[in-house]
Amino acid sequence: FNSVDEVNKSSLVDKNVVVIDALRATSVIVTAVNNGAVVIPILEIEEALKHKDKGYLLGGERRGLKIEGFDLGNSPFEYKREIVEGRKIIFTTTNGTRAIYKAFDANNIYIASMLNGKATARKVVEENKDTVIICAGTYGRLSLDDFICAGKVIYEMNYLMECRLDDSSTAAYLAYRDYKDKILEYVKNAKHYKYLISIGCAEDIRYCFTEDIIDVVPCYRDGEIKAAP
Ligand code: MLT
């Protein structure tokens, strides 16, 4: 896998990419798509605001907080079925949406989290292609929450099929294997974990680290993220 600054776009052509921002952007996207929404990732707030009052919901964060003028923040609990079903959500976050943009040259771009880790592994193994996992990290730097989530996807892939792993993938695999029964013990060392706790998001963290409660695998194509067929 790669952290976001290591991604060389041309190396993604013909590959599957799995994008992970476990706390919290990809957990939110997985939840929203599972609840019937289409998510449109956008980089800049100004661009997102152009869609205001045009039938879209605007969601996302800066510094973990809801953006002024937006309908929704970046807590997965805001993306309930009764709110998002049948809606298109313009979504911009600090690191997660940027990581999705980094993947644009890939053949398929899947969105993963702990919530749909096993389903994501199944999907990429079915396709039997070289797979690159992009961890969004925090401001371009590796984040432990993404690292162990990548480890989960790799662990589940390896369970289904023996995979050839590079060393960073092996390191993530080993982290998940050794901590899978006490993941929060591991994740609590992450800088972003500590920040989210400081702004009152403990429940979000607990939810984002619940494993395999969602079978949907969101896929980015032509500007929109929808459930993969
Ligand atoms: C991001 O995309 O940077 C994160 O999802 C930040 C957050 O936890 O709100």
pLDDT band at 9, cuts 50/70/90?
A: low
Q: Is 60 left (phi over 0), alpha (psi -120 to 50) or beta?
A: left
pLDDT band at 211, cuts 50/70/90?
A: very high
Strand pairing class (38-41; 88-92): parallel
Residue to probe by mutation, ligand 1, list 19, 31, 39, 61, most atoms within 8 Å of CB = 61
pLDDT value of residue 10? 64
Summarize pLDDT for 46-74 with one digit per residue, the tens: 999 999 999 999 999 999 999 999 999 99
Report whether 18 contacts 131 (CB < 8 A). Answer: yes
Report whether 204 contacts 76 (CB < 8 A). Answer: yes
In a domain, 21, yes or no: yes
Report whether 133 contacts 63 (CB < 8 A). Answer: no
Q: Whose CA is nearest to atom 7 of ligand 1?
A: 64
Residue to probe by mutation, ligand 1, list 3, 26, 93, most atoms within 8 Å of CB = 93
Burial of 189 (0-12, 13-18, 19+ CB in 10 A): exposed
Residue with tokens 């032509």: 222
In a domain, 217, yes or no: yes
Q: Any idea what the CATH number is for the domain that residue 25 is in?
A: 3.90.1560.10
pLDDT value of residue 163? 92
Whether residue 24 has a cis bond before it, omega within 30° of 0: yes
pLDDT band at 173, cuts 50/70/90?
A: very high
Domain count, the chain: 1
In a domain, 229, yes or no: no
What tokens appear for 153 in the block? 């996807």
Segments forming the whole domain that contains residue 203: 2-224
In a domain, 115, yes or no: yes
pLDDT value of residue 11? 79
For residue 168, how far is its CA from the centre of ligand 1 (angstroms)? 23
In a domain, 108, yes or no: yes
Summarize pLDDT for 97-136 with one digit per residue, the tens: 999 999 988 889 999 999 999 999 999 999 988 999 999 9
Q: Answer yes or no: is pLDDT of 75 > 70.
A: yes
